[in-house]
Amino acid sequence: MIVRASKPCSSPPWTASAWPSLYTGTNPGKHGVYSFLAFAGYDWDVVNATHVREPALWELLDARGLSSVVVNVPVTHPPRPFSGALLPGYTAPEDPEGHPEGIMSDVREAIGDYRVYPRHENASDGGRNEMIDNYRELVAMRGAAFRYLVREFDPDFGFCQFQVTDSVFHERPGDIGAVRAVYEAVDEQVREILDACEPENVILASDHGMGRYEGDEFRVNEFLREAGYVATKRGGEKGMPAWGPLRDGGGGEPGPLERGMALAARVGVTSQRVGWVLDSLGLTDLVLDVVPQRMVRAGTEQVDFAASRAYMRERIELGVRINLEGREPAGVVPESEYETIREDLIDRLGSVRTSDGSPVFERVGPREEFFDGPAAGEAVDVVVVPNEFDQFLSATLTGTQFGPPTEPWNHKLTGIVAARGEAIDGTDAAAVADESGAAKESNTADADGSDAGASVDIEQAHLFDVAPTVLATLGLPRAERMDGDVLSVVPSVGTEAYRTADRDERVATDDRGVENRLSDLGYIE
C-alpha cells in the first residue's frame, strides 16, 4: 500500500524550525527553535542542537533500546550520545563533529569524501553547470554515507535528509533544468537506499513546500516606521541585526570609505538613496560587484531596535516583537501598555492591502494562537501568516513599503508526505478533496512498473504527525508531549510518557562560515 498526501507544515515553514518540529513531533513553543537565529536581548547567534528542548526521534528510540542512523538532518550539531550514528546537517560547520567520535573520518575513508555544504559558497561563485555538479555530488554523498552507516550499524531506524532540493531554488531561482537535475539525483539515491537497505517501512516527507512568489514584497519595518513604532539609525551605527558583516566577513575597524559613507548617511545620503539612483540607471549589479559590502552597510539606514516600540527583527520569524520593559535590555513599552499595543499592531497588520486590494496576510494574531509550550514566550508577540505564502516579507528599510519580491522562489506552507510498507494500511485512510473539491483516490504503479495497489490520500496530514507515525511503524506508542497524531494509515499503539530531553547548557555556534551561507541563501537579510 502506498499512501500520499499534501501536508500542512509548521509555521514558520523554514528549515531551522521545521525540521525540529518534524523530528520531535512538537511545535516551536515546545522545542524552542523559531528561526535560524536565537536571540538574547539584542544579541543573536545561529541555532544549533543545544537550542532544541524536546528529544529527537532517535533519542526516544534509544530510550526504548532501538538504534538509529541519522544523516544530514538540520539542527543536529553538536550531536548527543545515542545508540547508532549521526552526521550533522544544516547549521553545522563544514567539518562537524559526528557521533560516535571519529565517525566523520570513517565515512570519508569509506566513501571517498563527505561534505555538509556544496563546494560553491554562494550563487555567484560558480557557473550553472558547476553548481549542478556540486549539488549532485552532495546528493551522492548523502546516499553513500547513509548506506555505509546502515551496513556498519544495522539500525532499527534510518533518517536521511538531502537539503539541496531546497537550496537549488534559492541559488538557481526559476532554473527548472537545475531543479530537475537535483530531483533526479535524489530519486536515484532514494532508489539505491531502498534497494540496499530493504526497509520494512518507508516515510518520505518534506519540511515545507516551495514555489513562485507572485505577490509583493512587504517591508514590515517600513510599515511600522510610518505607524510610529520603529525608530532608525544612520551612518554605520550598529542597529540590530547588523547583517552587513555576515555577508562580507565583517570585523575590524572601519576604513576611510566606510567612514565617508557613514558621514554621508548622517546627512541623508544613505545607501538606500544611492541604490534608487543606481536602479534608475541600470547600474546596481555593476556597482555591487566592486563596492565592498561593509561600505554599503556603513551608509545603510537601520532599525534602532533599542529605541523602537515594536519591530520585525528578522523576516523568517514571521512576526513583530514588542520592545517590552523588563524583558528587553532597553525596553520602552511598559507592561501596562503591552496588550493595547499588541491589539493595535494586530489590527493594523491585519488591514494591510496590496496595490490590487489583496490582503497581505491571511492571518494575524497573538503568539498564543500559534504556539504552545514552555518556549512559547520566546516567540514574536504578533504572528503574521502571508496570504497563501505569496507575499514576500522583509525586515529591511528601503524607503517604500512594497516592491517586487527579493526572492522570486521561496518557501510555501504545504509540503508532501508519503508512506509505504508492512505497517502501512490504506484501508482506514479517508479520501480528501483536491483543489476542485472532488474526492481523490487512485491506483498507482511501483517504480518497476508493477501494480502497487491502491494509493490513498491522507486527510489533514501535518508536519507534527511524522514523528508519532514513525514510532507507530516500529510498534511504539506516541509520546504524550507530541502535538501530532499517528496518521490514519498506521495502527496506533496508544500514548505514553517518554523521558524528557536532558539538555546541557547551550553552546555558541559563532561560525562565520555558517552565517555567510545562511545569508547567501537569503535566510538572513
Classified as helix, coil or strand, 510 is coil
Query: Which residue type does 316 have?
Result: I
Give CA–CA dist 509/518, Å, rounded.
Answer: 13
Q: Which candidate, 53, 16, 56, 51, places its Cα nearest to that of 35?
A: 16
C-beta contacts of 508-514 below 8 A and 24+ residues apart: 508/45, 509/45, 509/46, 509/47, 509/48, 509/91, 510/45, 510/46, 511/46, 511/93, 512/246, 512/249, 512/250, 513/93, 513/94, 514/46, 514/91, 514/92, 514/93
Q: Cβ(4)–Cβ(458) under 8 Å?
A: yes
Domains of the chain, start order: 2-213+410-518 (3.40.720.10), 217-409 (no CATH)
State the residue for C-alpha cell 565517525: 103
* Helical axes 164-171 vs 176-197, angle rounded to 10°: 170
Q: Which three cell numbers stand for residue 139?
A: 546528493
Phi, psi of 139 (to 5 degrees): -60, -45
| Per-residue tens of pLDDT for the chain, all 525 residues | 455 555 555 668 989 999 999 999 999 999 999 999 888 888 888 999 999 999 999 999 999 999 999 999 999 999 999 999 999 999 999 889 999 999 999 999 999 999 999 987 655 556 899 999 999 999 999 999 999 999 999 999 999 999 999 999 998 999 999 999 999 999 999 999 999 999 999 999 999 999 999 999 999 999 999 999 999 987 554 444 444 333 333 334 444 544 444 444 444 444 444 444 444 545 444 444 444 444 444 456 888 989 999 999 989 999 999 999 999 999 999 999 999 999 999 999 999 999 889 999 999 999 999 999 999 999 999 999 999 999 999 998 888 999 999 889 999 988 888 899 999 875 433 333 232 222 222 222 233 333 344 455 576 789 999 999 999 999 999 999 999 999 988 999 999 998 777 666 778 776 667 667 666 666 666
Q: Are 380 and 37 in contact (CB under 8 A)?
A: no
Is residue 487 exposed (0-12), middle (13-18) or buried (19+ Cβ within 10 Å)?
buried
CA dist 59 and 24 (Å) reads 10
The length of the chain is: 525
- Phi and psi, residue 131, nearest 5°: -65, -45
State how far the Cα of 461 lies from the Cα of 65, in Å rounded to an integer: 28
**48 — phi, psi (to 5°)?**
-145, -175
Neighbours of 169 (CB within 10 A): 23
CB atoms within 10 A of CB 11: 25
